[in-house]
Amino acid sequence: MLYELTCLSLRDPALAGLGAWQYNCYFEAAAKFLQDLAAAAGTKWRLPIPVVSRMLVTFIDGLTLGWLADHNDEQVLDALDGFAGQLAAFAEPPATQWQNLAHAPRSRRVLNRDSPGVQRATALI
């Protein structure tokens, strides 16, 4: 639905600016999430947050549209796993527990749920 709204706003002069406003809201929400995530993990981003925010929103947007077309849950989960590893690479150490997690196969992921970083991240969700 929101994809259709964006496309309509690009074609209809009466709705000019609506698509930009919509995506600016997405980028701002993603930036807030990324700031909170970095704070919870005790790390910082290697790239400017607006850049990482745009990458995150663009990835989720494309992944969602692709899933709407083919409903391939397994490939979506695999793509999320792959992107999580890429996203983790943009974080400065000390995120060793997250780096190990990002490269583990989905079926083998184990986190120490009692660690302070995991508790802070869980509180954000």
Percent of the chain topping pLDDT 90: 66
pLDDT at 59: 97
The CA distances from residue 36 to 14, 43, 59, 80, in Å, are 37, 10, 19, 20
CA distance 27 to 32: 9
Query: What is the tens place of the pLDDT at every residue in 74-112?
Result: 999 999 999 999 999 999 986 455 555 555 555 444 444
Query: What is the tens place of the pLDDT at every residue in 3-58?
Result: 888 999 999 999 999 999 999 999 999 999 999 999 999 999 999 999 999 999 99
Is 34 exposed, middle or buried, given 0-12, 13-18 or 19+ CB atoms closer than 10 A? buried
Put simply, whether the predicted model's pTM sits higher than 0.85 gets the answer no
* Helix 18-41 vs helix 49-70: crossing angle, to nearest 10: 110
pLDDT at 125: 41
